[in-house]
Every structure is written in C-alpha cells, then in structure tokens.
C-alpha cells in the first residue's frame, strides 16, 4: 500500500494517533488542512521546545517509576517526541525505560496498565496463532521480542506482567541502535504462571492457570514460531526472559532453523566477553589463560560459558581444555559429577571435585582469575570473597551481573581490593572516589550488544545469527574502548556515546556478514553511509506519509 492509498487521519483522530501526532508542532497550514483548528493552543512549537517541556515534567517527578509512567503515556500519544527525549540522553533514560526501573514496573504491571502495546498470544489461541498475528497492523515486522514472563530480572515467574520487558527491550533497539520502531513488535506468550499470588490478584491481566506440561508447551511454541515465519517472513525472533530450561531448549531447537536470538544467553555472553577482552588488554593477558568461576549455573552462565569456550578455542585450546577452565556453583553448591539434579548442559561443566556449598572454599581450591555472578543473589560476593580474589590476583576481574541486585557493589569491590579490581556490574554504579583516585565502574548490560546487532541484522538481512556473529559483536564493542579509557579502568565505552557505539558495531557486524556470505542483500560501496541511511531519526516527517520518524510504514 502506498501512502497515497491510505487516507491520513484528521482532527481528533490524528491527535490520537501516536505515530503521526505531533501536537503543538503542527503548523498553521497543517492545522487548517487537517481539521485541527481550534483543537490545539495557538502557539506552534518546534520538536526541541516540546522536548524541553517533557524534560521539565520529568525533572519534577519524585521517582524513576513515576518517570517511567510519564514516558509510557508520552509514547502512547506522540512516539516521535518520546524517542527524541530518549535519544537526547540515553545514559539518563535507559535505566528508566529498562533496568533497574523496569523490575519495579513488572512487579506491578497489571496494576499500572493503561493501554495495550504489542500483542498477547495465549494458550487458548492454539491452532489460530497465525490468524491472530495478522491482527497486527504492520506487515513488515523485523524484530519480535517475545517472553513468557518465566524469569524476569530476578523476580521469578511473573507471567503476563513480564510484558514490560519486550516493550522496553524493543524501545532500546530504537533509542540505542536507531532501528526503526515500526519494524518492532513486543509479544507476551501467555502460558499461565506458577505464581499463585498473581493468579489470586483480581487485577492480574494474564491467564489464571499453571503453565502446561512440556510437550504441550513445545507444541504451542512450535506453532508460534511457524506462524511468525508465515506472517512476518523477514522477522528475527528475540527470545527474552524465558525460564532457564525453556530458554536453552528453544534456542538449541530454533537457532539453526530460523532467524532468532536469545538475549539472556547470547547477549549476556557477548557483553561479558567484551568486558573480559577489555579487562585482559589492561592486564596484558589472554582469555585462554584464565580460570572462570560462575556463581549461578542457569541459562546466562551456560550461554556465557559456551561462548567463552568457543572464544578460547580460537586461541588454541581444545573444547575439553577450555571447559576445564570454567567452574560453576549454584544454590545447591558446586557443579560436580555426583549431583543427580544437573541438566545435560550443566554436566558439561561438572569437573571431578568434592561437593561443597562454600564459595570461599571453592575459590581457594580453584584459584579463579575471573569471578562472575549470575545468581540473582544480591550481596553474595561478601568482603571475605572479594578479599580472597584480591589475595590470589594482582588485578581480580569481578563481574557481579545479577539485576536488579548485583552480588556486590562497585564501592565494595574497589574498597575490598584497594582499588585493584577490574569491575563491571549488570547495573550502572556511579564513579567511586578513593583518595585522589577515580574509579569508573562498567555496566555489562546487554544494551551494549543487541541494538547494534539488531541494526546490522535489519540492514544485511542474514538468515541465521551464529556464535561467530555474537563473538564479533563482543570484539566490535571492546575495540571501541580506547587505550586512554582502559588506562582509567573503563571496560566499556561511555553510555553517553551509545548511539555512535551501536552504529559502529553495526557496521563491523555488517562487514562480517558480507565477508562470510551471510548477508542476503547486495554489498554497498560504503557500509557506514548505507547503515546510517537506514537509521531512525526522531523528527517529524510529512503528515500521512512514511518517514524515518514514522512508526507506521506505507
């Protein structure tokens, strides 16, 4: 359909269309032509002046939760203005529209609900999923972020309350990676919830039932994935915050069949690898010479470990040698062969050792150079734990990645190691002052990876996302940390530069896709100019016509 084939909305219908509405920025001529006279105050404002008003409102809000609610209302009435604000200061707004504020949002999502965004595909739609997906008004969806709400930010199973996650994740595709928002679709697969308190909550919006048996769930997911290929054939499925065993199973099932990506597994692995690459450049050491201890043995730990094994193999180790350098602990203790509760994926990292639940004892035995927390157990890296890591290593690498409560804070890590720790957390901490020294803790957050990866996939249109591409994303990010930044202990580029970082990563990943025969479009002469030409820009286009700022394609 061309824009000329669709009648643009007029009057109040236009003001209620968040994709085309520009509020007080409609010109006098546009107001007369589009039936808006008398419906707006007489002053005509620029987008910048509108953003100024929004920022003043946000400054007056007492909490980030209130700021999230305000921004949610803004995107419902004027999407262009929403992205103008987010893209003006990503370092400020990412923690509001995503972690850590989103954790609070998801706990109360059904209570905060205002109006629908995205799609809810529930078990009672089995047999009709393709039909239901066709209700979405945009035919060319390129990124579909889907969750069951089975494991959200350390909150456990919160069912349909998890919808806030795909909404926020896809907003970062645009705000950080300039992926056009009209190409994205958040989806909640409502399979029920194990959370009895939610099922009893009269305001809960999801199915009030337990999740189905595995066989029924597998059939439901298979129908969903097949329906996406039918209805949105160019779409990349982004799996997000599924229960760990489901996350691993579905990634393995579909990664070689369809264009898909699991951010909890592959995104966490990639951003962790990027931080490790930078930390080891500071130390002057190789990845293959490290010993890794993970607190946590779920999908994030396993996905990161598998990627580390691949990366260490590239440095000359065998798979068995690389796996031998990775040790895991979880709530039941050391991952070792006598445990009968291990999954097949965990058993790959079960090394002969006496059982123990003592993290300090394990550190003394293993003598790790890298300590990674993906346990959701806030505060688990105690002072004795961190001090022992500093006793064993001149520059201990400590990555407490759990969100929203990391295993230790930046201030604790620097204080307990006399400033020697190379530190990154899953959330952003402020800089730490110790005497005359300034420490700038890194944030190993996946938003450093998936927006740039998404922009490259949007542009080059590969059929699959491979481990090689995910590893390349890590190196593309690490290579943007300058030697001067490394000298200040920085492991990631500044968040204030996130858009340029993601575009640069996207160009590098597009080069990789073309070089490896994975792209399905012709190679341009100038990849950077080609990528930048596809980037979304938060500005007002022509009313009723498609523009880069419009969320509704012709």
pLDDT at 128 over 90: yes
Assess whether 477 and 414 both reside in one domain: yes
C-beta neighbour count of 204 within 10 angstroms: 20
CB-based contact 492:443 (threshold 8 Å): yes
pLDDT at 542 over 90: no
Q: What is the pLDDT of residue 547?
A: 38
CA distance 384 to 390: 10
- Going by the DSSP 8-state scheme, the letter that residue 490 receives in this structure is -
Average pLDDT over residues 17-32: 96
pLDDT digit string (tens) for 69-103?
999 999 999 999 999 999 999 989 999 998 889 98
100 vs 291 pLDDT, higher one: 291
CATH number at residue 352: 3.40.50.720
Q: What is the pLDDT of residue 487?
A: 87
User: ∠153-157-162 over CA atoms, to 5°?
Assistant: 65
pLDDT at 420 over 60: yes
Angle between helices 527-534 and 450-460 (to 10 degrees): 100
Q: Pick the last residue of a domain from 66, 94, 122.
A: 94
CA distance 373 to 331: 12
Q: Annotated catalytic, 98? A: yes
Q: What is the pLDDT of residue 103?
A: 87
pLDDT at 548 over 60: no
- Answer yes or no: is 243 within a domain: yes
pLDDT at 438 over 50: yes
Q: What is the pLDDT of residue 545?
A: 42
pLDDT at 27 over 50: yes
String of DSSP letters for 105-160: HHHTHHHH--S--SEEEEGGGTT-HHHHHTTSS-S---EEEEE-SSS-TTS---GG
pLDDT at 297 over 70: yes
- Give me the phi and psi of 122, to 5 degrees please: -110, 165
Copy the structure tokens of residue 108. 């109360």
- Answer yes or no: is 27 within a domain: yes
Assess whether 470 and 539 both reside in one domain: yes
CB burial readout 78-101, b (16+ within 10 A) else e? bbbbbbbbbbeebeebbbbbbbbb
String of DSSP letters for 174-199: HHHH---GGGEEEEEEE---S-HHHH
pLDDT digit string (tens) for 211-255?
999 999 999 999 999 999 999 999 999 999 998 889 999 999 999
CA distance 477 to 503: 11
- Answer yes or no: is 415 within a domain: yes
Assess whether 107 and 50 both reside in one domain: no
- Answer yes or no: is 429 within a domain: yes
Q: What is the mean pLDDT of the chain?
A: 94
pLDDT digit string (tens) for 141-180?
999 999 999 987 778 899 999 999 999 999 999 999 999 9
Q: What is the pLDDT of residue 509?
A: 98
Assess whether 252 and 290 both reside in one domain: no
Q: Given 83, 169, 204, 540, which residue is catalytic?
A: 169
Assess whether 40 and 169 both reside in one domain: no
Q: What is the pLDDT of residue 467?
A: 94
CA distance 368 to 306: 18
CA distance 215 to 219: 6
Q: What is the pLDDT of residue 59?
A: 97
488 vs 510 pLDDT, higher one: 510
pLDDT digit string (tens) for 481-491?
999 999 888 99
Assess whether 106 and 90 both reside in one domain: no
pLDDT at 377 over 90: no
Q: Given 68, 83, 98, 261, which residue is catalytic?
A: 98
Q: Annotated catalytic, 169? A: yes
- Answer yes or no: is 146 within a domain: yes
String of DSSP letters for 236-278: EEEE-S--HHHHHHHHHHHTTTSSEEEIIIIIHHHHHHHHHHH
Identify whether 404 is preceded by a cis peptide bond (ω within 30 of 0).
yes
Q: Pick the last residue of a domain from 28, 60, 94.
A: 94
Range of the domain at 230: 98-262
- Answer yes or no: is 487 within a domain: yes
Confidence of residue 554 (pLDDT cuts 50, 70, 90): very low
pLDDT at 3 over 90: no
Assess whether 115 and 24 both reside in one domain: no
Assess whether 74 and 134 both reside in one domain: no
Assess whether 69 and 198 both reside in one domain: no
String of DSSP letters for 299-323: HHHHHHHHHHHHHHHTTT--HHHHH
366 vs 436 pLDDT, higher one: 366
Query: N- to C-terminal Cα distance for the chain?
Result: 6
CB-based contact 501:300 (threshold 8 Å): no
CB-based contact 188:144 (threshold 8 Å): no
CB-based contact 37:30 (threshold 8 Å): no
Assess whether 395 and 509 both reside in one domain: yes
Percent of the chain, pLDDT > 90? 89
> Which of 459, 506, 462 minimizes the C-alpha distance to 480?
506
CATH number at residue 45: 1.20.1370.30
pLDDT at 341 over 90: yes
C-beta neighbour count of 292 within 10 angstroms: 26
Alpha-helical regions (H) of 367-409: 383-392
CATH number at residue 207: 3.40.50.10380
User: ∠53-58-61 over CA atoms, to 5°?
Assistant: 135
Q: What is the pLDDT of residue 543?
A: 59
CA distance 472 to 470: 5
User: Exposed/middle/buried for 311, CB within 10 Å: 0-12, 13-18, 19+?
Assistant: buried
Q: What is the pLDDT of residue 64?
A: 96
Q: Pick the last residue of a domain from 67, 94, 121.
A: 94
> Which of 416, 373, 409 minimizes the C-alpha distance to 393?
416
C-beta neighbour count of 206 within 10 angstroms: 25
Percent of the chain, pLDDT > 70? 96
String of DSSP letters for 69-107: HHHHHHHHH-HHHHHHHHHH-HHHHHHHHSTTHHHHHHH
Assess whether 410 and 539 both reside in one domain: yes
- Answer yes or no: is 554 within a domain: no
CB-based contact 67:61 (threshold 8 Å): yes
Q: Sign of the C-alpha dihedral, residues 114, 116, 120, 122?
A: positive
pLDDT at 207 over 80: yes
Q: Tell me, rounded to whole angstroms, the distance of Cα 78 from its chain centroid.
A: 24
Q: What is the pLDDT of residue 541?
A: 79
For the chain, what is the domain count?
3
- Answer yes or no: is 553 within a domain: no
Q: What is the pLDDT of residue 7?
A: 66
Confidence of residue 551 (pLDDT cuts 50, 70, 90): very low
Q: What is the pLDDT of residue 359?
A: 97
Assess whether 472 and 510 both reside in one domain: yes
């Amino acid at each position: 359909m061309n824009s000329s084939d669709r009648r643009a909305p007029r009057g109040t219908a236009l003001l209620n269309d968040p994709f085309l509405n520009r509020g007080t920025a409609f010109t006098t001529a546009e107001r007369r032509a589009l039936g808006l006279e008398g419906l707006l105050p007489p002053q005509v404002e620029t987008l910048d002046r509108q953003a100024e008003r929004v920022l003043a409102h946000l400054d007056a809000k007492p909490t980030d939760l209130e700021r999230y609610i305000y921004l949610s209302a803004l995107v419902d009435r004027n999407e262009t203005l929403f992205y103008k604000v987010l893209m003006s200061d990503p370092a400020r707004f990412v923690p509001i529209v995503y972690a850590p504020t989103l954790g609070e949002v998801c706990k109360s999502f059904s209570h905060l609900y205002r109006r629908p965004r995205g799609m809810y595909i529930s078990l009672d739609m089995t047999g009709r999923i393709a039909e239901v997906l066709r209700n979405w008004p945009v035919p060319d969806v390129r990124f579909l972020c889907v969750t069951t709400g089975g494991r959200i930010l350390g909150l456990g199973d919160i069912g349909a309350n998890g919808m806030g996650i795909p909404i926020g994740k896809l907003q970062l595709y645009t705000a950080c990676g300039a992926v056009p928002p009209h190409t994205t679709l958040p989806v909640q697969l409502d399979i029920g919830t194990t959370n009895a308190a939610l099922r009893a909550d009269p305001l809960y919006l999801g199915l009030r039932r337990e999740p189905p048996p595995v066989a029924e769930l597998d059939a439901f997911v298979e129908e969903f994935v097949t329906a996406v290929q039918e209805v949105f054939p160019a779409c990349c499925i982004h799996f997000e915050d599924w229960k760990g065993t489901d996350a691993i199973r579905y990634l393995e099932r579909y990664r070689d069949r369809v264009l898909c990506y699991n951010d909890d597994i592959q995104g966490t692995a990639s951003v962790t690898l990027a931080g490790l690459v930078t930390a080891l450049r500071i130390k002057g050491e190789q990845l293959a010479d490290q010993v890794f201890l993970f607190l946590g043995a779920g999908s994030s730990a396993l996905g990161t470990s598998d990627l580390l094994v691949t990366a260490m193999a590239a440095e000359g180790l065998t798979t068995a040698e690389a796996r031998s350098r990775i040790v895991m602990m979880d709530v039941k203790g050391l991952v070792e062969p006598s445990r009968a509760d291990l999954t097949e994926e965990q058993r790959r990292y079960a090394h002969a050792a006496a059982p123990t639940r003592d993290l300090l004892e394990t550190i003394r035995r293993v003598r790790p150079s890298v300590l990674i927390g993906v346990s959701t157990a806030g505060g688990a890296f105690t002072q004795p734990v961190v001090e022992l890591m500093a006793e064993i290593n001149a520059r201990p690498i400590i990555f407490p990645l759990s969100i929203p409560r990391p295993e230790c804070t930046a201030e604790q890590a620097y204080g307990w190691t006399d400033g020697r720790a190379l530190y990154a957390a899953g959330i952003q901490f402020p800089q730490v002052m110790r005497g005359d020294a300034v420490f700038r803790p890194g944030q190993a957050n996946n938003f450093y990876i998936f927006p740039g990866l998404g922009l490259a996939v949007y542009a080059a249109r590969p059929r699959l996302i491979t481990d090689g591409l995910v590893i390349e994303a890590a190196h593309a990010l690490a290579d943007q940390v300058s030697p001067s930044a490394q000298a200040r202990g920085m492991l990631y580029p500044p968040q204030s530069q996130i858009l340029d970082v993601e575009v640069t990563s996207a160009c590098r990943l597009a080069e990789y896709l073309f070089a490896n025969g994975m792209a399905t479009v012709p190679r341009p002469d100038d990849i950077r100019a080609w990528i930048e030409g596809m980037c979304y820009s938060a500005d007002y286009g022509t009313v009723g016509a498609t523009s880069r700022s419009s969320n509704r394609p012709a």
